A and B are shown apart, each in its own frame.
Chain A
Amino acid sequence: MTEAVMQPAALLSIAIETLRSEVLAALPPDRRYAGAMIANALEVAQRGLEAPTAERVRQLLDPIYGAGRGSIAWLARDVRSGEVDDASTGELRDLLIADLRRELMIRNPRFLASRSA
């Protein structure tokens, strides 16, 4: 078996494919919801592997705190206290919306499509 096949993303991909094509339809009705939740969770995990969180949050934090500085917890605290707001960071809301867009691309791209329609 090659190393490429053993990559987590590749394993998840074939697992999801098998779950969707061979398992879900065969589940009894009272287990289909649980099966669909499992498929959803695996798909989120798969998309998350392709877009690591650490890289995503830097795109939000770097324009506010500088390269490599700050954290999501800092930002949450500073927004609540008013230390960081639209006046201090003119593009704050745009940055937050862009971050939500990246997060939703992982967690629920269909939701994003529904709001963009």
Chain B
Amino acid sequence: MAHATRPRTFDPSDSGVLEGWLARQIGANRARITNAELLSGGAIGENWRLDVDVAGGRRSGRQTWVLRTDAATRMAMSHDRADEYACMRAAYEAGVAVPEPIAVSTERELIGAPFMIVGMLQGSAQGRKLVRDPALAAFGEALAGRLGEELAKLHSVQPPRRDLGFLHVPDQSPARAAVRQLRADLDKCSEPRPALEYALAWLDRRSPPAAGLVLVHGDFRTGNYLVEAGMLTGILDWEFAHWGDRHEDLGWLCARCWRFGSDQLEAGGVGTREALYRGYERQSRITVERAAMPYWEVLAAARWAVVALLQGERHLTGGERSLELLLTGMMAPEMEWDALAGIEAIEAIETTGMKGSSR
């Protein structure tokens, strides 16, 4: 649970304005919120389960949706709710398992912050619990394959897209553009990090050439998808979506920091990377460049280190006092360690043709 004691943005006891707005958005005569429950998770914003009685229109009847707000402060690299909503809609239309986009508001006046309303999906997103599920041996490989298929569907969304016109189109190699952005984000942080600078300099020197741009989720990892009885039900948290290289999402999921301790299952701690790659190739008919993946996993570690530092910065200078955010910032050396160990392993293989790093 995040920020158990912080003030809430949405006040369910004062939802009349929201109900009127919602009815207009979905073409209903009336929408009445019968129950609102704050859900766990959401280090960036708040998530509320809403039970809504809808009268009239194509959504008439009892509905269960999720209201997702902007947080008081936001990381520079994350989208606001309207842009996140547009990315989710593009993914939904491409057939990706994603909560159905229902409505979005950029106005602060309605409930105190911009928000979106999306479909409610069954399942749990608790990564640590998932990788320790005793039944994982039975469903993990299939789940990894399904994750690959979903990524392939997402990556079928490619520029130019008028509905995603707010997304920056990199004018150079996506990896090099990522490094440039990470350096700019790092410059917003109070704490200089030489090890991270070392990793970014290495990534910049070794960046692969520009490949075809695709819509990248940007935070596709265990903990950001829902699983119910061993089956994937939906992919969450689209606030970091951007145009990038298809290997970036694959590398992020396989990065060691997102295996929750189940290091032998390299695809997010749930399955083998081959199962993930095969699922991707089955759906996309595009071959995953296996030799390129260690580079993208170093980039993933460096990126998570920067994200952690930015989270810590929200406490340090962003006016959002939170022990959880501060402790997240203090995790940066862990990802720096993985990044440097990854670099060492890549160079050892290049030098000797052997897996050489013991770190």
Task: Give the B-binding residues of A (Cβ under 8 A).
Answer: 30-31, 33-34, 37-38, 40-41, 44, 60, 72-73, 75-77, 79-80, 82, 85, 92-93, 96-97, 99-101, 103-104, 107-108, 111-112, 114-116
The count of residues in chain B whose C-beta lies closer than 8 Å to any C-beta of chain A is 29
Name the B residues within 8 Å of A33 (CB-CB). Answer: 1, 4
Name the B residues within 8 Å of A41 (CB-CB). Answer: 323, 326-327
Whether the pair B193, A76 counts as a contact (CB closer than 8 A) is: yes
**B213 to A: closest C-beta gap in Å:** 26
Whether the pair A30, B4 counts as a contact (CB closer than 8 A) is: yes
CB-CB contacts of B310-352 with A at 8 A, as 1s and 0s? 0000000000000110110011011011101101100000000
**Is B7 at the interface (CB under 8 A from chain A)?**
no
Whether the pair A93, B323 counts as a contact (CB closer than 8 A) is: no
Q: How far is the CA of A114 from the CA of B323 in the complex (A)?
A: 24
Q: How far is the CA of A38 from the CA of B336 in the complex (A)?
A: 24
Closest A-B pairs by Cβ, 9 of them: A76-B192, A79-B197, A75-B194, A73-B192, A96-B195, A76-B194, A80-B197, A103-B333, A76-B197
Q: How far is the CA of A32 from the CA of B217 in the complex (A)?
A: 32
Given contacts A37-B323, A79-B198, contact A115 B341 (CB under 8 A): yes
- A/B interface sample: 27 pairs, CB < 8 A: A34-B4, A34-B323, A37-B323, A44-B330, A72-B192, A76-B197, A77-B192, A80-B183, A82-B201, A93-B343, A93-B344, A96-B340, A97-B195, A97-B337, A97-B340, A97-B344, A97-B359, A99-B194, A99-B195, A101-B337, A104-B334, A107-B330, A108-B333, A111-B337, A112-B337, A115-B337, A115-B359
**Is B200 at the interface (CB under 8 A from chain A)?**
yes
**B193 to A: closest C-beta gap in Å:** 6
Whether the pair B200, A30 counts as a contact (CB closer than 8 A) is: no
**Is B261 at the interface (CB under 8 A from chain A)?**
yes
Q: How far is the CA of A79 from the CA of B343 in the complex (A)?
A: 16
Q: Which residue of chain B lies nearest to A74 when distances are taken between CB atoms in the complex?
A: B192
Whether the pair A85, B192 counts as a contact (CB closer than 8 A) is: no
**A63 to B: closest C-beta gap in Å:** 13
Name the B residues within 8 Å of A107 (CB-CB). Answer: 330-331, 333-334
Whether the pair A93, B334 counts as a contact (CB closer than 8 A) is: no
Q: How far is the CA of A114 from the CA of B334 in the complex (A)?
A: 11
Name the A residues within 8 Å of B341 (CB-CB). Answer: 97, 115
Given contacts A73-B192, A76-B197, A93-B198, contact A37 B333 (CB under 8 A): no
Whether the pair A79, B327 counts as a contact (CB closer than 8 A) is: no
Whether the pair B201, A79 counts as a contact (CB closer than 8 A) is: yes
Name the A residues within 8 Å of B261 (CB-CB). Answer: 114
Q: Which residue of chain B lies nearest to A114 when distances are taken between CB atoms in the complex?
A: B261
Whether the pair A37, B192 counts as a contact (CB closer than 8 A) is: no
Q: How far is the CA of A24 from the CA of B79 in the complex (A)?
A: 37
Whether the pair B195, A100 counts as a contact (CB closer than 8 A) is: yes
Could you say which of B194, B195, B201, B341 has the most chain A C-beta atoms within 10 Å of its C-beta? B194
Q: Which residue of chain A lies nearest to B340 when distances are taken between CB atoms in the complex?
A: A97
Name the A residues within 8 Å of B327 (CB-CB). Answer: 37, 40-41
Whether the pair A30, B330 counts as a contact (CB closer than 8 A) is: no
**A45 to B: closest C-beta gap in Å:** 11
Name the B residues within 8 Å of A80 (CB-CB). Answer: 183, 197, 200-201
Given contacts A85-B201, A92-B198, contact A38 B323 (CB under 8 A): yes
Interface residues in B91-130 by Cβ distance below 8 A to A read none
Whether the pair A108, B336 counts as a contact (CB closer than 8 A) is: no
CB-CB contacts of B57-78 with A at 8 A, as 1s and 0s? 0000000000000000000000
**B250 to A: closest C-beta gap in Å:** 22
Name the B residues within 8 Å of A77 (CB-CB). Answer: 192
Q: How far is the CA of A41 from the CA of B331 in the complex (A)?
A: 12
Q: How far is the CA of A33 from the CA of B119 in the complex (A)?
A: 28
**A16 to B: closest C-beta gap in Å:** 15
Name the A residues within 8 Å of B326 (CB-CB). Answer: 41
Known: A82-B201, A93-B343, A100-B340. 10 other contacts (CB 8 A): A30-B4, A41-B327, A75-B192, A75-B194, A93-B198, A96-B195, A99-B194, A107-B330, A115-B337, A115-B338
